[in-house]
């Protein structure tokens, strides 16, 4: 399945994201990468049944201006209502707090994180996105999140000395599906077998290849 991956910002280089997806091996998705937010267009996005947002709301690593306009937010809404899928990874939740339409679509947004520390990921059982995954601990940024959608299915919690947070959830938007995963600041996280399981499952779920137990 053709999948558009939006990535690259000052804190999360596009090269790391590319390597992270390459480490998944043959997982049934053909990833195409877009690193410059100025190159995004609704027409181009519509060519893909699945989009991954792994980019904070800046045009590029060297241009901190926001790429997501009011019009672009509504295009994402139309995209999902048409039955497509969206996976939001780590930095894809950052910088969009004041983008109300996108915030509704994702079901919540990044608020802040403490200094990097050991973070344990605790998956929920009996959910397709966590199938085959068990708890694991990684050195990461512990993302603190505003989870706005009370109907979202939280399938992953993150725990550290700073507290407990929702680290993964799934929700429907129109005929489309949205899946959020907050781990992923370091390449080591992307290479962790349990994170790779979660990411593969998230891609398949958002693409409509299985269904969550609601």
Tens digit of each residue's pLDDT (9 = 90 or more) over 106-151: 999 999 999 999 999 999 998 999 999 999 999 999 999 999 999 9
Using DSSP bridges, classify how beta strands 176-181 and 85-89 pair: parallel, antiparallel or unpaired. Answer: parallel
CB 95 within 8 A of CB 123: no
Q: Where are the beta strands (DSSP E) in 99-152?
A: 108-112, 117-123, 136-140, 144-147
Looking at the whole model, is its pTM more than 0.85?
Answer: yes
pLDDT tens sequence across 153-198:
999 999 999 999 999 999 999 999 999 999 999 999 999 999 999 9
pLDDT of residue 209: 84
Joined tokens for residue 14: 């596009």
Residue 212 confidence (pLDDT) above 60? no
Element spanning 14, H or E: helix 14-22
- The dihedral region occupied by 208, where left means phi > 0, alpha psi between -120 and 50, and beta the remainder, is left
Q: For the chain, list the domains and their CATH numbers.
A: 2-206 (3.40.50.880)
């Amino acid at each position: 399945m053709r999948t558009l991956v939006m990535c690259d910002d000052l804190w999360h280089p596009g090269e790391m994201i590319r390597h992270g997806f390459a480490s998944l091996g043959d997982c049934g998705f053909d990833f195409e990468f877009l690193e410059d937010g100025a190159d995004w267009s609704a027409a181009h996005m519509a060519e893909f049944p699945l989009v991954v947002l792994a980019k904070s709301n800046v045009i590029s690593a060297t241009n901190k201006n926001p790429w997501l306009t009011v019009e672009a937010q509504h295009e994402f809404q139309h995209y999902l209502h048409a039955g497509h899928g969206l996976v939001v990874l780590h930095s894809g939740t950052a910088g969009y707090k004041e983008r109300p339409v996108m915030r509704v679509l994702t079901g919540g947004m990044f608020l802040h994180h403490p200094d990097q520390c050991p973070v344990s990921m605790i998956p929920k059982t009996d959910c397709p996105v966590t199938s085959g995954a068990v708890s694991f601990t990684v050195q990461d940024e512990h993302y603190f999140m505003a989870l706005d959608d009370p109907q979202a299915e939280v399938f992953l919690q993150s725990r550290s000395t700073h507290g407990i947070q929702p680290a993964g959830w799934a929700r429907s938007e129109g005929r489309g599906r949205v899946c959020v995963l907050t781990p992923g600041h370091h390449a080591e996280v992307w290479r962790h077998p349990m994170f790779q399981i979660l990411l593969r499952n998230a891609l398949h779920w958002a693409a409509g290849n299985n269904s969550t137990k609601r």
